[in-house]
Amino acid sequence: MKKNKTSRAWVHDHLNDPYVQRAQADGYRARAAYKLTEIDERDHLLRPGAVVVDLGAAPGSWCQIAVKRCGPKGRVLALDLLPMEAVAGVDFLLGDFTEDAVLEEFERRLDGARVDVVLSDMAPNLSGVATVDQARSIHLCELALDFAVRHLKPGGQFLVKVFQGEGFMAFRQQMESAFASVQVRKPKASRDRSAEVYLLGKGPRQT
């Protein structure tokens, strides 16, 4: 009964969410478009001609923003476990980022290119057990960080969604070891009650 009430409340909030309504009006696939837009306007991640990787891309609103801002000379490569309707200008791979074969295929598509920006909005399939879900989430963040460190250009940037809780501070310390600067971003389109924040790493340290 409680679960049904919670679901109904979520649907009500979602349908009345101004960012959901705005996304529908603007032609974006999800309200998350405005999270990336706000961060990009502040931190200038997406530039014409940039090579961008979008991890956890479905349904594709971040890809829509990246293609628009990087222009015809840019490259956007995206990956997700969930299917994503094609976005013009995006090279999308359907697969599980945690599987070596999928990661190898994704890296092959880079064709040796160094990346300007790695975006990760990945989240695990929720089990309902908070400690398990948090551990899985942090693991995905660590995998994304490893990818970013290996593929970013000098001066590149890494934006990753992290849920505050067990393991958050340890992951932040990993990022601080890997980047010259790390900043926390909580865009307005991120719901206040959500534990999500975004960590932005700038300037990979040379290993």
Distance CA 153, CA 145 (A): 14
Distance CA 120, CA 160 (A): 5
161 among known catalytic residues: yes
* Residue indicated by tokens 């250009």: 153
- 35, 68, 73, 161: which one is catalytic? 161
Distance CA 92, CA 84 (A): 8
Nearest alpha carbon to residue 66 among 95, 94, 97, 35:
35
Contact criterion met (CB below 8 Å) for 107 and 81: no
Catalytic residues: 161
